[in-house]
């Protein structure tokens, strides 16, 4: 279980606090939505090498399911993003098809939100 504050997710975000393992389903719960004036976004993305090339990590095949007050996800090789609606509580499930290495992937958000990944 990892908890991320709005300060940690702001701007460039931070590295994941733990790996997301292959074929394991994780529930993401969004916090701090009380001051939202509209939708916001949560992202997972690989960290760049110093030369600007993305490190090896792939979000292809990741399943996003059981969305409540979330939608419009985008999943590409080196990033994943999902829209967080301002209404109600937000949860969704993530199931990676390959390991998401915490030393190579950042989590960040817009809208001054936090989250917990269990």
The pLDDT tens digits for 11-38 are 999 999 999 999 899 999 999 998 888 9
How confident is the model at residue 53, as a pLDDT? 58
Closest CA to 43 of 22, 19, 12: 12
CATH 2.60.120 fits domain 2-117: yes
Residue 46 reports pLDDT greater than 70 = yes
- The token pair that represents 94 in the structure block: 């993530």
> Is the model's pLDDT at 63 over the cut of 70?
yes
- 3-state SS class at 95: strand
Query: What is the residue-averaged pLDDT of the chain?
Result: 91
pTM score, two decimals? 0.91
pLDDT number for residue 34: 87
> Is the distance from CB of 45 to CB of 79 less than 8 angstroms?
yes
Instruction: Indicate whether 57 pLDDT > 80.
Output: no
């Amino acid at each position: 279980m990892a908890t991320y504050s709005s300060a940690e997710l702001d701007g460039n975000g931070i590295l994941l606090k733990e790996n997301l393992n292959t074929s394991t389903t994780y529930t993401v719960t969004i916090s701090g939505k009380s001051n939202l004036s509209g939708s916001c976004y949560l992202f997972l993305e690989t960290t760049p090498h110093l030369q600007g090339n993305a490190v090896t990590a792939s979000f292809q095949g990741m399943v996003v399911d059981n969305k409540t007050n979330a939608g419009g996800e985008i999943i590409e090789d080196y990033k994943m993003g999902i829209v967080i609606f301002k209404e109600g509580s937000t949860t969704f499930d993530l199931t990676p098809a390959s390991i998401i290495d915490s030393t190579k992937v950042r989590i960040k958000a817009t809208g001054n939100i936090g989250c917990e990944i269990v």
